[in-house]
A and B are shown apart, each in its own frame.
Chain A
Amino acid sequence: QKEVEQNSGPLSVPEGAIASLNCTYSDRVSQSFFWYRQYSGKSPELIMSIYSNGDKEDGRFTAQLNKASQYVSLLIRDSQPSDSATYLCAVVGDMDSNYQLIWGAGTKLIIKP
């Protein structure tokens, strides 16, 4: 069974520091990886997509992918209290599954002022 693993947290980070969120996945053929942010009572919001090994930067966010280690991470620089949310890692299944997302359970991030 394909799985995506995340530490549930909560992960507490002081304001202005770097928050590091990690995710591992079990399916070696996975090609597409996503980070979603979900505020309490709201729906998930796509913040990063990554498809190739290495780093991808977008503003304060950097996604890192290592397919050999089956590991994807999200770094948030200069963390702000508004970054406090649950961060969901998701991996796309194959075409036969209609590209269903396989979800991690999410990591709750708390940025302390």
Chain B
Amino acid sequence: EVQVVESGGGLVKPGGSLRLSCAASGFNISTFIMNWVRQSPGRGLEWVSSISDNSHHIYYADSVKGRFTISRDNAKNSLYLQMDSLRAEDTAVYYCARDLTSGWDGGNYWGQGTLVTVSS
């Protein structure tokens, strides 16, 4: 069974940092593009970042570019999101999502999410 489990969320002050992790099981992430998507009441569902299987292709939403860094460790079957210079508008549930195939499919299989709250 395909499963991804996010962790690392929490309460952080504006300007602070947080590192999210996503542990995969039931499949080998080395053959899939992986994604981060977030959801907040004010912004709805928002794609955040994607990383190719070999990490050669990385993309970010304009809203997080320069502040967030996506990475993966295929040996550990894990995905990460380093979030720096956090703002109140980054408050959201963050989901890790695996693509359906080895192509760019938008992120199909989602975890349960981890809540990030940016507040003083």
- Whether A associates with B in a native complex is no
**Interface positions of A (Cβ within 8 A of B):** none
**Interface positions of B (Cβ within 8 A of A):** none
